Amino acid sequence: MAGLDDLSIGQIFSNAAQAVPHRMAVAVASASLTFGQLDAKANQYARALSAQGITRGTRVVLWSATNLDAVPLFAATSKIGALFIPVNGLLSPEEALPIIDDTKATLIVTDVERAFPDAAPAHTTLSALNESCASESTDVFVNPDVVSSDPHVAFFTSGSTGRPKGAVLSHGTNFLRTSAGALLEPRGPMVCPFPLFHMAAWTISLQQWQGRDAVIFPASSSAEDIYDAVTRTQATRINCIPAIWRRLIEHIANNDLDPLSSIRLADTGTSATPLELLEAIERTVPNAHLRVFYGSTEAGSVAFLDHDAMRSKPGSCGPPAPTISFRLVDGELWTKSPTLFDEYLNNEEATKTALVDGWYRTGDLAELDSDGYLSIVGRAGDLIRTGGESVIPGEVEEVLSALPAVAEIAVVGLPDPTWGEVICAVVVCKSGEEPPTLEELRAFCEERLAPFKHPRALRILDALPRTASTGQIQRRLLVERLSN
């Protein structure tokens, strides 16, 4: 009898192709595939990969920018039961090859011809794979031996610090994270500006595909291309990180464009989303319901703030999502759910540190209010210890970001022989504005923050170092740069 162990991602594509073969499944810029075309090409890819020795449990790396041919490759590895490992196509060989070597992959697929060392695994390009598939059968291909607990994907977390780690998600985990439920209500197309090496891109895609609707990848992450993707497809859903929302809002305002009235559901998350930005998003998508998500590659969606609580709970990321439990241990958020990742790929030590008795240690410092609403106040490793006091950078950043000249701000602790660490404000100024002085920053903090939280150093930069996928500030990198 079928049960939870039969949850297989490959079956999603075969079922959708049978039910809605002519409905669009995915578009990248102006190129697209229907569910029927996607499944047929995935079947061809699966047979070609099988002929090259790709079987259940082997590992396939995709080192590529967002590319339509990546989607049937993802579907094909799902059908075979191979582990799919996307790597950021923007990484240089010096950055990517050590990561790829760690994966112990059987096959590497790239979007363009790339040079590999002699000892590298077998490798090919998407275009060569596509050409080799032309004679393969399009008949249904699903490996019946694939079970829910089999590893499905490994996403390398860009992280704000340290070497990337490959978080492994099983077929069952990805199925549960993206399930459309028992009823397939109409969803409409969803625009996804996330790149295809990022967990969010594939999670959003699987949510759409389980609901048998289309995911639209813009030609780029520029505001112009995102606006075009929404208006061209009359998309009803969109998910953007705060930095992209700001770009989109500015683009619409500067070019006197119409708001995105087709959008009915608008999501954001990954970093602080102040009320002023949420209200600007409201004006940009006037017919949409807004949600602010908090989660991670390892934990999936942990909490979300619904539109109705946006003003009553500013700064919060909401109560726990369904099936999620969380608790605070010395201020750090730990979470448990059936949708946690399984392990870090080939990294037993990191896995043991992150997973404790079934709980995932997020590394985020958090607070819970009396209504059970969660607020993320910083990273455990980012805590500044100055003169015997502990300071959360985000608290200082929230105050100083209100200064008129400040476009972006990061607060870090710099080593100091007297204080241990001194609080340093790193400011990116708005165009045409004079940089603030340290004295102005400290005066602005009066009556807003305790004296030990006031900055004792100031640096002015043209840009803050951020992670490629989510735009999080890389604080340790800042500290390294500013300390040299």
Q: Are 24 and 34 in contact (CB under 8 A)?
A: yes
SS3 469: coil
383-483 falls under which CATH superfamily?
ANL, C-terminal domain (3.30.300.30)
Provide the Cα torsion 46, 47, 52, 56; round to 10°.
50
Residue 75 Cα to chain centre, angstroms: 20
Residue-level pLDDT at 160: 47
* Predicted local distance difference test score (pLDDT) of residue 473: 84
Q: Which residue has the tokens 């049937």?
A: 72
Looking at residue 468, its pLDDT comes to 65
- Give the distance from CA 73 to its chain's centroid: 20
Whole-number Å distance between alpha carbons of 278 and 152:
35
d(CA 227, CA 235): 10
**pLDDT given for residue 161 in this prediction:** 46
Q: Calculate the alpha carbon distances from 89 to 105, 192, 322 in Å.
A: 17, 17, 34
Q: Are 374 and 368 in contact (CB under 8 A)?
A: yes
Q: Are 261 and 234 in contact (CB under 8 A)?
A: no
Q: Are 334 and 361 in contact (CB under 8 A)?
A: yes
Assign domain 4-374 to its CATH superfamily: ANL, N-terminal domain (3.40.50.12780)
> Which strands form 265-269's sheet, in the order they lie side by side?
31-34, 24-28, 215-217, 190-191, 237-239, 265-269, 289-296, 300-306
Token pair 């949420």 is at which residue? Answer: 278
214 is written with which tokens? 């289309």
Q: What is the pLDDT of residue 436?
A: 94
Q: What is the pLDDT of residue 392?
A: 85
Q: Which two tokens stand for residue 274?
A: 């102040």
CB 198 within 8 A of CB 155: yes
Distance CA 257, CA 131 (A): 42
CA dihedral over 49, 54, 56, 61, signed as positive or negative: negative
Contact 13, 39 (CB under 8 A): yes
Q: How far apart are CA 317 and CA 293, in angstroms?
A: 6
Q: Are 285 and 238 contacting, i.e. CB atoms less than 8 angstroms apart?
A: yes
Can you read off the two tokens belonging to residue 27? 């578009």
User: Residues spanned by CATH 3.40.50.12780 within the chain?
Assistant: 4-374
Instruction: Read off φ and ψ for residue 76, nearest 5 degrees.
Output: -65, -45
Residue 110 pairs in a beta bridge with 63, 125
The whole-number pLDDT of residue 346 equals: 95
Q: What is the pLDDT of residue 3?
A: 58
CB-based contact 43:79 (threshold 8 Å): yes
Q: How many CB atoms lie within 10 A of CB 74?
A: 24
Q: For the whole model, what pTM was predicted?
A: 0.85
β-sheet with 420-429: strand ranges across: 406-416, 420-429, 457-460
Contact of 364 with 349, CB cutoff 8 Å? no
- Tens of pLDDT, residues 198-234: 999 999 999 999 999 999 999 999 999 999 999 999 9
Q: How far is CA 172 from CA 338, 342, 348, 361, in A?
A: 9, 11, 21, 21
Task: Give the 3-state DSSP-derived string for 257-288, with helices as H, strands as E and coil as C.
Answer: CCCCCCCCEEEEECCCCCHHHHHHHHHHCCCC
Cα 283 to Cα 10, 144, 260, 421: the distances in Å are 40, 49, 9, 42
Phi-psi region of 363 (alpha: psi -120 to 50; beta: other; left: phi over 0): left
Query: Which residue ranges of the chain lie beneath pLDDT 50?
Result: 1, 160-161
pLDDT of residue 1: 37
φ, ψ (nearest 5 deg) of residue 325: -115, 140
- The string over 118-151, giving b where at least 16 C-beta atoms fall within 10 Å of a residue's C-beta and e elsewhere, is eeebebbbbeebbebbeebebebbbbeebbbebb
Q: Any idea what the Cα angle at residue 202 is, between residues 200 and 203, rounded to 5°?
A: 60
* CA atoms in the 13 A half-sphere facing the CB of 361: 16
**Residue range(s) in the chain whose domain bears CATH number 3.30.300.30:** 383-483
43, 35 contact by CB (below 8 A): no
Determine the pLDDT at residue 144. 92
Rounded CA separation 9/79 (Å): 7
